[in-house]
């Protein structure tokens, strides 16, 4: 079968299999502290409820260690609620002593139900922990992001008796785009994502918030060379579809019911030359109205949902 031909892609290309080592790096966790409640501070209405699991207050300020590739906090009431309900590994929840409302009550209820420790702190401590003002008085301390490898991603698809469906990030720089794409990938049933070790947005707390916590549970492989990884995927019968605004074929003209990986390129430059050349199909999204391109996360979402539509 020709790789970039007209018509629909019907059957996967046969290829030699290759045993892949499955090495999952050990999780790296950080342990933040807390502060004692100041004398005369007004107690929170949930503080003395029976069955609570508050943490003992240490004698030092809440300081979370961060680096570019780990995640420590999820800020905001809705993101924390979604993290607690969606299976995100939450280590503890910190709530402002001035926070009130149904969402706060629900967070406390969920934390108790899931045996997640929670604690009430002065508002300024919450602000310092979250490092952003728009935290709504609620912060969840999450586990670090654990990356896997291509072998594990293939195994995840096989375990579900489904044809592999992956999302490849080719130097996505904006953390909001990365988070939005991860959330969409989870919603459409993708088996995993592939990111380069360098020149890509880090999976940080902004990504966690944008993805509603999905970035912590979505399987992702971090690789040194995207082009070589594409060759590796092809050996396992995976077809590569890249998004390119100058492509001749529209994104709905490809058959995505076969093993497939969708590539979304850099927001400004698109896919790199070698990655583009290794794609089996290049597809575009038709547009009118004066603009010739879409936001990377929007363009990626359209293609990902086409995969879901064809596979349903």
Q: What confidence tens digit (pLDDT) does each residue in 149-199 have? A: 999 999 999 999 999 999 999 999 999 999 999 999 999 999 999 999 888
* CATH code for the domain of 84: 3.30.1330.30
Q: How confident is the model at residue 276 (pLDDT cuts 50, 70, 90)?
A: very high
- Judge if 52 and 184 occupy the same domain: no
Q: Is the pLDDT of residue 69 over 70?
A: no
**Inside any domain, residue 21:** no
- Say if CB 214 and CB 206 are below 8 A apart: no
Neighbouring-strand partners of residue 74: 140
Last residue of a domain, one of 93, 112, 144: 144
* pLDDT confidence of residue 167: 98
Tell me whether strands 165-169 and 90-96 are parallel, antiparallel or unpaired: unpaired
Higher pLDDT pick, 73 / 66? 73
- Judge if 135 and 188 occupy the same domain: no
Indicate yes or no: pTM above 0.75: no
- Max avg pLDDT among 132-136, 200-204, 256-260: 256-260
- Judge if 228 and 252 occupy the same domain: yes
- Judge if 187 and 129 occupy the same domain: no
- Judge if 259 and 289 occupy the same domain: yes
- Judge if 167 and 136 occupy the same domain: no
- Judge if 132 and 163 occupy the same domain: no
- Say if CB 270 and CB 312 are below 8 A apart: no
Number of domains in the chain: 2
**Inside any domain, residue 261:** yes
- Judge if 237 and 167 occupy the same domain: yes
* pLDDT confidence of residue 131: 66
**pLDDT single digits (tens) 113-158:** 999 999 999 998 888 887 667 888 999 888 777 889 999 999 999 9
Burial (CB count within 10 angstroms: exposed 0-12, middle 13-18, buried 19+), residue 249: middle
**pLDDT single digits (tens) 20-58:** 444 444 444 444 444 433 434 444 444 444 334 343 333
Last residue of a domain, one of 123, 144, 165: 144
Ranges of beta strands (E only) in the chain are: 73-75, 90-96, 118-121, 138-142, 165-169, 192-196, 220-223, 239-243, 249-250, 260-264, 281-284
**pLDDT single digits (tens) 70-99:** 546 788 898 889 888 877 788 899 999 999
Domain of residue 104, residue span = 31-144
CA distance 55 to 119: 6
CA distance 123 to 37: 11
- Judge if 93 and 154 occupy the same domain: no
Last residue of a domain, one of 93, 120, 144: 144
* pLDDT confidence of residue 49: 42
- Determine how many CB atoms are found less than 10 A away from the CB of residue 137: 23
- Judge if 81 and 184 occupy the same domain: no
Average model confidence (pLDDT) across the chain: 80
- Judge if 286 and 217 occupy the same domain: yes
* pLDDT confidence of residue 130: 79
Instruction: Kindly report which listed range (196-200, 201-205, 259-263) carries the lowest average pLDDT score.
Output: 201-205
């Amino acid at each position: 079968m020709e790789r970039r031909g007209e018509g629909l892609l019907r059957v996967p290309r046969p290829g030699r299999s290759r045993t892949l080592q499955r090495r999952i790096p050990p999780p790296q966790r950080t342990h933040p502290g807390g502060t004692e409640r100041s004398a005369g501070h007004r107690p929170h209405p949930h503080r003395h409820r029976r069955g609570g699991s508050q943490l003992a207050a240490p004698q030092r300020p809440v300081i979370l260690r961060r680096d570019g590739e780990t995640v420590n906090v999820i800020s905001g009431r809705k993101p924390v609620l979604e993290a607690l309900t969606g299976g995100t590994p939450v280590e503890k929840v910190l709530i402002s002593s001035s926070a009130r409302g149904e969402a706060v009550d629900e967070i406390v209820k969920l934390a108790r139900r899931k045996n997640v420790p929670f604690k009430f702190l002065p508002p300024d401590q919450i602000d310092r922990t979250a490092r952003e003002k728009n935290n709504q008085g609620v912060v969840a301390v999450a586990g670090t992001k654990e990356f896997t490898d291509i072998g594990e991603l293939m195994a995840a698809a096989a375990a579900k008796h489904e044809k592999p469906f992956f999302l490849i990030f080719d130097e996505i720089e904006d953390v909001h785009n990365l988070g939005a794409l991860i959330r969409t990938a989870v919603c459409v049933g993708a088996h995993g994502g592939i990111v380069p070790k360098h020149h890509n947005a880090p999976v940080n707390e902004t990504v966690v918030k944008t993805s509603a916590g999905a970035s912590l549970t979505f399987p992702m492989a971090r690789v040194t060379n995207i082009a070589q990884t594409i060759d590796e995927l092809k050996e396992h019968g995976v077809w590569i579809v890249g998004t390119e605004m100058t492509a001749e074929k529209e994104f709905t003209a490809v058959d995505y019911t076969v093993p497939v990986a969708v590539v979304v390129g850099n927001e400004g430059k698109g896919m790199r030359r070698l990655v583009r050349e290794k794609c089996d199909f290049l597809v575009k999204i038709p547009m009118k109205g004066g603009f010739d391109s879409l936001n990377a996360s929007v363009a990626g979402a359209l293609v990902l949902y086409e995969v879901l539509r064809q596979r349903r």
